[in-house]
Amino acid sequence: MKPIHGCLAIVSIIVALAGTPSIAQPQTIRSSEDQARATALFNQALQKIAQKDYQGAIADLTEVSRLYRVYGIYTNLGIARQGLKDYEGAIAAYNQDISLYPTNFLAYLNRGILYYERGDYQSALTDFGKAIELNPNLASAYNNRGDILRIQGNLQGAITNYNEAIRINPRNEKAYLNRGSIYYEQQKYNEANADFNQVIILNPQSAAAYYNRGSIRLAQGIPQSAITDFTEGIRIEPNNADFYYNRGLAQLRLKNTQPALADFRSAAYLYQQQGKTDSYQKVVNTIRQL
């Protein structure tokens, strides 16, 4: 069974520039009232981004751009356009910010995410590398770069980047989860188990960590402990058919046929409801063999 990674797509990196903006390089200095209005609109736009009112944020930021050139305005425009799935517009906004402020690491970081989502991994790697060059303590950039290297099959390179992300931020649960997933695939179960334990310490509601740790315990021949982890995963994600299926496999290892059958039936029902035909058929075939 395949482990669950922390990021099938890169997430939790789109960051608005919070706080009072630094207003620099005015386009046209009209009055102190214009400056105050620009600052108020900028901060209002950040609140709207947080509330996912992306159209409202774009309107505010467009007005700010008319009044003053504010550091971070185009990065936040990019975030708002990305929220509306206007990816070309978002990239154009990040490009504009980078042309005005070449040291704005968030613009590189966020543009790299868009490149990643479009499958342009080389451009994404270049942007994450630039973000790290500008801010060597940017744990999210290391984590993102590790994700791409993992996809490309450079597992050692991915581990090196996850190591850096963890060194910078020891509470980076995604880096532990992703590094542990690689260790699991390499059958380095002790290292993987340690990483998944750490994820659970940091986030006791991480269903992925329980799934992965349960998978390790099943592979190591410790089915009762696997059942405990899969049961905890079901508590967190009661509609996740994979947990029921794998708990059923663990029950079979203990020759608990009836509990296994109940889990397989639950898994089959959920797979069918979710339109996962191949997984549904796999469970049906397993039930027929009992």
How many Å separate Cα 181 from the centre of its chain? Answer: 14
Residue among 15, 67, 14 nearest 41 (CA) = 67
Given this model, what pLDDT does residue 31 score? 67
> In which band, very low, low, confident or very high, does the pLDDT at 2 lie, cut at 50, 70 and 90?
low
123 pLDDT above the threshold of 90: yes
Residues 210-290: name the CATH superfamily. Answer: Tetratricopeptide repeat domain (1.25.40.10)
For 38-49, the pLDDT digits (tens) are 888 988 998 999
Q: Where are the domains of the chain?
A: 210-290
Residue 166 main-chain phi, psi, to 5 deg: -70, -40
Task: Among 98-102, 131-135, 196-200, name the one with the lowest average pLDDT.
Answer: 98-102
User: Tokens at residue 164, please?
Assistant: 């850096």
Given this model, what pLDDT does residue 252 score? 97
For 9-35, the pLDDT digits (tens) are 333 233 333 333 333 333 444 567 878
How many Å separate Cα 71 from the centre of its chain? Answer: 27
**28 vs 8 pLDDT, higher one:** 28
270 pLDDT above the threshold of 90: yes
Given this model, what pLDDT does residue 17 score? 36
How far lies 253's CA from each of 192, 219, 225, 280, in Å? 22, 11, 12, 21
Q: Specify whether the backbone of 101 is left (phi greater than 0), alpha (psi in -120 to 50) or beta.
A: beta
Mean pLDDT across the chain, nearest whole number? 89
Given this model, what pLDDT does residue 15 score? 36
For tokens 């049906």, what's the residue? Answer: 284
